[in-house]
Each structure stands twice: as structure tokens, then as C-alpha cells.
Structure 1
């Protein structure tokens, strides 16, 4: 009899809990997606190709306020690829802005192609324009412009570092690297990008560090915290881990906050195991859940 009473009490408690569970489910964060938002300023010099490419998708918690925003730059060597929102970054309480930018010519680009004259500097300028748009507009969606993080894979990681370390790209918008909350490049170049070197007929096996290299800007004051993630040094693209390790060392010597992770057993396409590290980093920053 006693056991039957306990069973009845447990069943009753479960029934009573159902409305509460439903309420909790109803309070779950609701996310919205806005596609193909133009991010260039109205007075920006832009042909039809630039206008077409310079858009972003914004995935954000519509019923929240004061959330952080992660800006994601796609990879593709600065000559290929398109914006997408990584599924592993969704539903953690922050917004994600996925950015398209102009693409430099690849090896098979026709001379009369719309992007035939695009340079690596144009890619960086577009990335900076997207960051400026998010900074100026995210508050209208409920976000905090002081909580903007940049990330991306490969070429996207390079853009993350160039926009976040070279002051001249954000300066036209009245912004500086100090206005960003953090940089989180995945397997990004820290020397001059190989596409920029190809523009000057320099081999991928010839390293260059100039004004198109994040390493060139390690003495920029008030850089945001930087999280570097690469694949295994023996499986990565040419010297990619070593580039990042040297950037880490020089940033530390210049008293900038920086962390480096090497993902053992993973090559250049290391985004899958890297995503949890990004989310955990943002949790430590108290902007992810």
C-alpha cells in the first residue's frame, strides 16, 4: 500500500510539472534570420559586382537584449567561397553575422570577369565595412556594439586578423581595433596572404611579412584579446601552425592577451573540432550560454 501511495504521489508530481515544463519550453530563446543585408555605406564607391557581393546574413536572438555578435568570414583563399552561418555556433545566445566580400581573381578567372581587377586589399576593405555596419546597427536588433567578435576559417581567419590588427581599415569608420571585443581566427595566415603574394608573382613557398601581414601589426596599441586555433603542424597548409605560433610569441612580447591551440590529428579543415573551443571561449567571456 505504501509503495502504491509513493507511485501515485510521483505520478501526480509529474502531471503537475507538465505545465511548468511547457512554460519553460515557451520561454526558449527565439532566433531570427535576416538575409542579404547590404552593408556598404550609401556613399561608398561600388560597381554592381561589389554591391552584389557586399551583403551579410544576420542570425540573432530576437527576444534578447545586450547580446554579443560573432562576425564570421568564410574561407576560400580570398578567391572563392560564400557566406554561411556555421550550425555549431547557432543557439548559444549570441548573434552571428555571416559576411560576403569581393573575391580576388583565381587562376582561371577571365580577364573580363566582374572581379578581374579585385585585389586582396579590396577584400579586407569589404570585411572592415561589414564590421562597421554591425557596430553601427546591431543595437537596433538588440545587440551590444561593445561585444563584437571576429572569426573565420583560413582566408576568413586572415581577414579577422587584418581588420582586427591593422588600424587603417577601420579608421574610415571612426573605429579602431580597440572597439572590438576579440579576434578568433581559425587557421588564418599571419604572414602576407598567398593570394597577395601571387599578385606580385611570389611563390607560396616564399614567406613575406609586409603591410598585408597581420604579423606586421603586433605593435598596434590596445589590441583586443586574440584566440588562435590551427590544425596539426604536420598536417596543416604550408607553415600555418608556425605562423600562428610566431604571431602568438610576438603578441606576448608586446604585452597583448593571446592564446594558441593546435588541434592534433587535424589538418587545415579543422573547423569541426575548433567550434566548441570558440563557444567555450565565448562562455568564459560571459557572452555565450
Structure 2
């Protein structure tokens, strides 16, 4: 290589290479920090966008909703949706690669269908509300797999109307219950624009926070962050499942569960012992099981204890499915 007409020495070239590597490392750290900051749970509004169908935006209430959301700092866009009168959501996911921050657009699987109460009532009276919503879902499924929620405007005004043929509340309830049972579509009555804004904000916030909640709670499931527990055909894994089951009982941690399982290596053996022995004797026996914690000089031994023993006995002896174990 040549610098100012003079060839670079090996030392200069090594320094140059080291400088370039440091700049790459710095850029990678900055990109990673930018992603972490931009994707914080409390910053959900920064990476969420609300897509509002043009027919909703043209309505007076829709215009007020759009203005309110934008004043609150939410990103909104008015488009012609595949299905009219719908509101959908986009989440932007940031990622860092070679020091460059990129943004991926993800269409969320939740769609809000906004309809006037008179329209919904007409479908209920014609006994085709389920058919109508099924057709709406079919149109949406051509573009995205989603869950639909029905938001109904003007319900109170409809119920107060004295016009002939106005739907009664019982027919209405039967219609929305059928919708829930057959299509798993929930229906919510929206009183005014303020409540419509609240619902849109609520859904947007929930969708924005969902990845963080899933990541935070995934270790609460059996198997934690490792491979989920299961029992194979030869019975392998049975003891691990039993230990995990014991940990569902309050104040029974992994060390206590392991100690109990070493004495009674299956739920059947433990249940048979509980059923065939006086309860006080069982509680005293379980309470006295030694629990070893730590290794080496930090090792110590304690007991299961009477409170945990009582809960274990109640858990494996009660025939009441609603029994509370406190």
C-alpha cells in the first residue's frame, strides 16, 4: 500500500487494520445499543403504527380519533384496507448487523372491525351475523391470518330508539354470543369517540408489549429455557416431570421437590403412602426429609418443613377440583 507517495510499512498496515477493526467494533456496539434503546418496552409507541381504513377516517368520529391518537404521539396512517371499516397494526422490529441498524415491518395478527349498531342489528335480525363476519374474516385471510374483534358504535342510541322493528336486547345478546362461540370473535360496545380511542390505544400498547412479555414469561413454563419436559416410551424423563409438578406447589422449590422425589419417586407412590397412612404421620415424615443445598464449604442441610409438607399432602389427597392450596 502507498501513503503520500511512500509505501506503508508492515507496522503501519497492522495499525491501520487494528484501527478499522476498532471502528467496526464501535459501530457494532452503537448499533446494538440503538436497537436495545429503540425496542424498550416503555417505548412501544415508537415502533408501533396504526393503520386506519379511509372509510373510518372520513367519518366525524374517525377524524376525531385520528387527531387524538396523533396528538398523543402515536403513528397513524389512513389507507384503503382490504376490508373496509377496519383498523390494523404494524410493529417495526429493529435489528443490528455489521454495525448497521435495519428495520423490519411486521403486520400484527389483530384486526378491529368497526361497525354501526344499526348494521350489526340488521344482521342479527336476519340471522346472518355469523355469516357476515365469516365473510369478513375470509376477505382478510387472503392477506393475513388474524384475529378479529368487533367494535360496535351507537348501541345505546339504538336501544333508546322507539322506531318499529328495533332489535331487543335478548336477540342482540344471542347474536353476539353465537359470534363468540362459532368464530371466537369478541364484541365490544363503544359509547363514544373517547372510548374508541381508548380501545385502539389499548390494543396497540398490548401488541407493542407482547414480545417483551413473551420473552419475560417464557421461563415460567415447565422446562424453563431448556427443552420442554416429556416422558418417552421407555419412561425416561418421568422423574423430571414429577419434580416439576411438585414445584407447582407454593414454597416448594427445586431442592425441596428433588428431596421429596428421592424418597417417593413417583406421584403414585407418594399418593399411595398418603392414602394409607395417618395424615399427621405423613406430614411429619415429609417435613423431616433433609434438603441439601450448595456444595463444598457452602453446603448446608435443612428440612422440607411442616408448611410445605401440608401443601404437598393436600395437593395429592384432595378430591375437590376447586380446593385452594394456600
TM-score by length of 2: 0.27
User: Greater CA radius of gyration, 1 or 2?
Assistant: 2
TM-score by length of 1: 0.30
Hey, which of these two has a bigger chunk of helix by percent? 2
Structure with larger RCO (C-alpha < 8 A, sep 6+): 1
